[in-house]
Structure 1
Amino acid sequence: MAIHRRELLATLGAGAAAGLAGCSAAGQFGGSDEAPGVVGETLTLTTTTSTHDTGLLDELNAPFEDMYGVTVDAVAQGTGQALETARNGDSDVVMVHARSLEDEFMTEGYGVNRRDLMFNDFVVVGAEDDPAGIGGSGSATEAFSAIADRGATFVSRGDNSGTHTKELAIWEEAGVEPSGDWYMETGQGMGEVLNVANEQGGYTLADRGTYLSQRSVVDLVIHVQGPIEGGPELLANPYGILAVNPAVHGDVNYDLAMAYIGYVTSPEGQRRIEEYTANGEQLFYPEALSEDPDFQQYVPEGWSGNSTEG
């Protein structure tokens, strides 16, 4: 699998080389001298473009690499492709944000030990002149309907990412099947889609974190807020992290994957998520720690443990 991974990373050009200096938390978690068999190893993380484009991965991964003396190869893809890479055994751990796709991955037996990690929300952004007149709308579905009715340009990820999955759910709830010259599918990551929407004077659905990290370089404004700013819950954007099942792919680095999950869901990892900002704005909100943990985070939504054979 190591050869497959090297080929995959070379093809994608998305390997995040290690070696970044970071403050070590070895005193809290146990340094590399306490982790025999780990030093020098590589953890392959498939994750969304939003965690990469915002710079959050650098903030999280450098201290982990320092702590264990390992390398994290982070492959930034849409959620669907990140999970598909893991299905093929070319990933050890997955950090994504489309619960329906995560649940499918787990139900099929490819993923284990899922944890809630963090959240932000989605926002509908567009040119300031707002040709569809959706500014200040309290409903994402009404905003999408107005965009379609007026044939205003909408730029879609079109890549089976978590953002694209959410976008399609909104269109469905709005009773609209988007098509025509006004609807542009790019197959690109969030950062590139924001650039295209900016160039075209169009609308798009964006995760708040990526939008805030790029707000200074695009002339797009938020027209519909997500729940962080009092908008509809439909625009909530939770992130999860899960390990690839070693019973399905025996050569995954399961021990290191679980160490990484433990780190990013620990008080130290959650603090780094909470304190990470861009342009003075908090991009993500930690969700792993609670005095009343949610059992549902570990299993697919709607799962019941009562279906035992008699």
Structure 2
Amino acid sequence: MEFFMKMRFWATALLCLAAFTSTAQAQDSKTIRLATTTSTENSGLLGYLLPKFKSETGYTVDVIAVGTGKALKMGENGDVDLVMTHAPGAEAAFIDKGFGVEPHHLMYNDFVIVGPKSDPAKIKGNKSAQDAFKTIATDNAKFVSRGDDSGTDKKEKGIWKQLGINPTSFSEFKSVGQGMGPTLNMASELQAYTLTDRGTWIAYKTKLDLEILVEGDKVLFNPYQVILVNPERYTQLNTKGARDFSNWLISKHGQQLINAYQMQGKQLFTASYDGK
């Protein structure tokens, strides 16, 4: 009798465990892990989009906002289900190496060079980002760099490289290893120049003693992609949820929401899905 009671106990325990595991898996299937840039977080775009996505689909999106380099590395390690980034060269390598699948053009904005209103290097109105950077280096003007392997950092380093300038060679250059928000705050405190995406700039500008000095150069174009992490590499991914989210973002509805998002009366991103 005692034997059968023990068997019944363990059978019940196993059934409870199975039910708990099944429930946990069901909950997990409604959670999507997204690695993205600080610009999509700092600009408020995700705070605007994700509640709408959840109300329409039931999915919860866990956001890890880091620089593009770190976001792609998390994708490489299988730590997230998809990435939303803005560094075309790094994204192409991510896909070519087999880490990313189903990339889609999502949206764009642009980078701008901001700095103190006194503009000691006299770059205001310059139509060339390269000329502005060269003048800043030549004048040894204060410049704060993100230095965090983000999409913004990659863009900035690309401009320095095209000029053949090592920015660390001038004493007023500071690489801080921070996100865009802290970098802007530091540039404001130091009255220094920096490169920023327009979305984060609009979100922060009322708190800063800086202004846009250079904009409109095609070099400063800033496109974003959404890319699924390759499920053939990792079995624990929520690829269905990631695909559902990606498809929602590039749908007519999702693209309209991206275009509709404004802050202080300004549109921060322009939807750009073109069937690719």
**When the two structures are superposed, what TM-score results if normalisation uses the length of structure 2?**
0.88
* Partner residue, 2:81: 92
Matches within 5 A, 1:10-25: none
The answer to which structure, 1 or 2, has the higher relative contact order (CA under 8 A, 6+ apart) is 2
CA-CA distance at 1:280 after TM superposition = 1.1
Unmatched tracts of structure 2, length 5 or more:
1-25
Q: Which runs of 5+ in 1 are unaligned?
A: 1-36, 226-230, 298-310
Q: 1:251 matched to which residue of 2?
A: 236
Match of 2:194 in 1: 204
Structure 2 residue 226 is matched with structure 1 residue 237: no
SS in 2 for 1:117: strand
CA RMSD across the alignment: 1.2
1:213 alignment partner, one of 203, 209, 214: 203
How far the C-alpha of 1:41 sits from its partner, in A, is 2.1
Contact 1:93/1:244, CA 8 A, preserved across alignment:
yes
Deviation at 1:65, TM superposition (A): 1.5
Equivalent position to 2:172, from 158, 177, 182: 182
Equivalent positions of 1:1-310 (< 5 A) are: 41-179=30-168, 180-225=170-215, 231-288=216-273, 290=274, 293=275, 297=276
1:155/1:202 contact within 8 Å kept: yes
**TM-score normalised by L of structure 1:** 0.79
Q: Give the aligned length.
A: 250
Amino acid at match of 1:107: D
Shift of 1:183: 0.8
1:106 aligned counterpart, secondary structure? helix
Distance 2:257 2:53 in 1: 12
Moved over 3 A (4+): 37-40
Offset, 1:113: 0.2
- Aligned partner letter, 2:41: H
Paired AA for residue 254 in structure 1: T
- Separation in 1 of the partners of 2:179 and 2:254? 25
Q: Where is the helix percentage greater, Structure 1 or Structure 2?
A: 2
Q: Is contact 1:155-1:203 (8 Å) kept?
A: yes
Identity, in percent, stands at 44
Deviation by residue 1:103-145 (Cα, 9 ceiling, x = unmatched)? 1110110000000000000000000000111010010000000
Deviation at 1:70, TM superposition (A): 2.3
Distance 1:260 1:38, change over 3 A: farther
Q: How far has the Cα of 1:40 moved from its partner?
A: 6.0
The AA in structure 1 aligned to 2:96 is: T
CA distance in 1, matches of 2:91, 2:234: 17
Q: Which letter maps to 1:193?
A: T
